[in-house]
A and B are shown apart, each in its own frame.
Chain A
Amino acid sequence: MRTLAVLKTALTGNYAVAHAVRLAKPHVIAAYPITPQTTIVEKLSEFVAKGELKASFVNVESEFSALAVVYGAAMAGARAFTATSSHGLFYMYEMLWWAAGSRAPIVMAVVTRTLGPPWNIHDEHNDILAIRDSGWAVAMASNVQEVLDLTIQAFKLAESAYIPVAVGLDGFVLSHTVESIELPPQEAVDEFLPPRRPDLPLRLRPGEPITMGNIPSDDRLHAEHLKNIYRASQEAKKLVKSIDAEYGKLVGREYGGMVEGFELEGARYAVVCMGAWCGDAKEAVRSLRREGVPVGLMRIRFVRPFPDEEVAELSGMDRVVVFDRDITPAGGILGREVASVLGRDKVVNVLAGLAGVDFKADEFRKAVKHAVEGEYADRVVLL
């Protein structure tokens, strides 16, 4: 590993996103304000205004237009970024699918937040999980340093796989919490992330008549396109790993690719979770290990594409406790996803931390203990 002139600093998660974007040198940024996303785009507009980032910052009238602007920019060959949250993400819905169907290499930060009613700005994962089938790669960071690193990696992934990438960070828990982090030097980021190809997914230039999106003469052409996007998503799993490894070589931090494993060696039970509260879950795992409970943890970094292979490695566990910070009429989203790999009998799905309610390490510890001891009567546990 090389020695780098890293800058140690203290940043909120949102400012970490802004600094990562600055280092990635996008051409176009567009955004519409929504709590708790706002400080990302405030900081970016400040970077642009001060000339620290040479980019167009476009103020728009809605999140739908925020994504439409960066979509147009990305299709015209620009590196483009937007950020949103909760209701704003839902207002983008049609554009999300169109962007993914166009293989537009966009990066978007999603600061996770509950959905109303009632109005509530606190943390929950239903918003980002709702876009999981839109064709976007969907990832979540667990701390401010990872927010920064994952955002930089997301540009590389988007521009390698030609899949738009959503980088999730928990509202307030990460977005507004200051942590001590390291900023990689610009040269390292430049080396990691070269200028993007302007001719993919297509070359859109004056005088070159090419049309994207008119009606196909044969629906099989469209179907083939959909299959290609699926194949690209599967291929993206390998890219996630290689990009993480490459970033690790250049910057000195890597995260394990699609998932992060923690204390899984010798474990008979596994906790599966995603996002910032995995920090609390890890504390619970440490404490349970001290009590002699053989438990480990798998943190989902990328929920799309889904880490099937990594989750399948938990098949030898006696029980897998999946924590969801989301709720649907069918239970927890991660719980069902994990059960689709491991089977329903092995999985206990705990739904907690809903609507921003705190769920601390000790509560994780108790819930895991109950689950592994078979004390929950239901497969879906509402805490």
Chain B
Amino acid sequence: MTVRIDLLPKTKYVVPGNSACAGCGMMIGLKVLGMALGEEAVLSIPASCASVVQGLGPKSGVALPILNVPFASAASVATGMSEAFRQLGVKGQAVVWAGDGGTADIGFAAVSAAAERNSDVLYIMYDNEAYMNTGIQRSSETPKGAWTTTTPTGKREAKKDVALILLAHGVPYVATANIAYPQDFYRKIKRASEIRGFKFIHLFAPCPPGWLFDPSLTVEVARKAVETGVFILWEYDNGELKLNPPSSALVDKSRRKPLVEYLKLQGRYAHLSEDQIKQMEEEIDRKWQFLLRFAQAARPRA
């Protein structure tokens, strides 16, 4: 069910005049988190762009309860908050709002442990595909081929699929989301928060200065990632893995837009040759085939 735009809460959980860069994709996501869970969430935020965008104390640019915590600790801190709330009888949802580096790299052991324990935490990884806060260094979520300041000729290794790794932990809910589809993200947050246990959402969030595109194109880039098949919207719930629109209509490769429409918007891919782009396209299709086989396997029992 898509939520009608005019029925979304109007409270400003992202407060104007904060420290985010113009056109920050992550802030669109944070806004949606506020709309969906603003009165229930308590956030654990590790070192990241998300800690900086809050602006300068004693003001805060994010109107949510937030504990800023060390880089690798967010999932564990959220576990502690969640257990405290349970023991003290406080109704609320411990939420981690962490970047890709804090999740897939330095914080990964803690994320994996929280998932394995099935701690009652909603973990949202906003993925801007590099260490943006420190100035665009490569992370394990940087896609193959992308320029960063530490991969000046393009990253040679593939992007780590954290959502599938988390799914393999046997947690009750895993989904991907994209800031170009806020209502889909809103619905997924709402659904996840109904479930007790560990929930993981991988949120695709383009970064204008890091990906080298004009800030007006943030949503366009995010949308093109889905339309070209680079980023697949899916949801694992109740033991079933299914694709969400519009990805669900893009199973047939011919319905996807040419990859170059996504790549050409971003300076980080400007150096790629036609051969490299062709190879990327093949790899994207392999990713689709893998996910579809997974979806086939993860179907509800009759």
A residues lining the B interface (CB < 8 Å): 27-28, 30, 54-56, 58-62, 64-66, 68-78, 80, 94-95, 98, 198, 204-217, 221
Contacts and interface: CB of A to CB of B under 8 A. Distances in A.
A71 B119 CA distance: 16
Given A68-B69, A98-B69, A209-B60, A61 B113 contact: yes
Contact of B67 (A54, A61, A65, A204): A204
B80 A76 contact: yes
Interface stretch (B36-44, B207-215, B240-248, B265-273): B36-44
B78 interface: yes
A211 B66 contact: yes
A206 B73 CA distance: 20
A72 B80 contact: yes
A95 B63 contact: no
A64 B90 CA distance: 26
A130 to B, nearest CB: 18
A95 B66 contact: no
Nearest to B82: A72
Contacts of B82: 72
A212 B66 contact: yes
Nearest to B41: A206
A98 B67 contact: no
Contacts of B73: 64-65, 68, 71, 94-95, 98
A77 B84 contact: yes
A209 B87 contact: no
A58 B77 contact: no
B58 A221 contact: yes
Interface string B66-84: 1111101101111111111
Nearest to A30: B80
Contacts of A212: 66-68
Contacts of A78: 80, 83-84, 87-88
Contact of B81 (A65, A76, A213, A221): A76
Contact of B83 (A66, A73, A204): A73
21 contacts: A28-B80, A28-B83, A55-B87, A56-B83, A56-B87, A58-B79, A58-B80, A68-B69, A68-B73, A68-B110, A71-B73, A72-B79, A72-B82, A76-B85, A78-B84, A94-B70, A211-B54, A214-B56, A215-B57, A216-B57, A217-B59
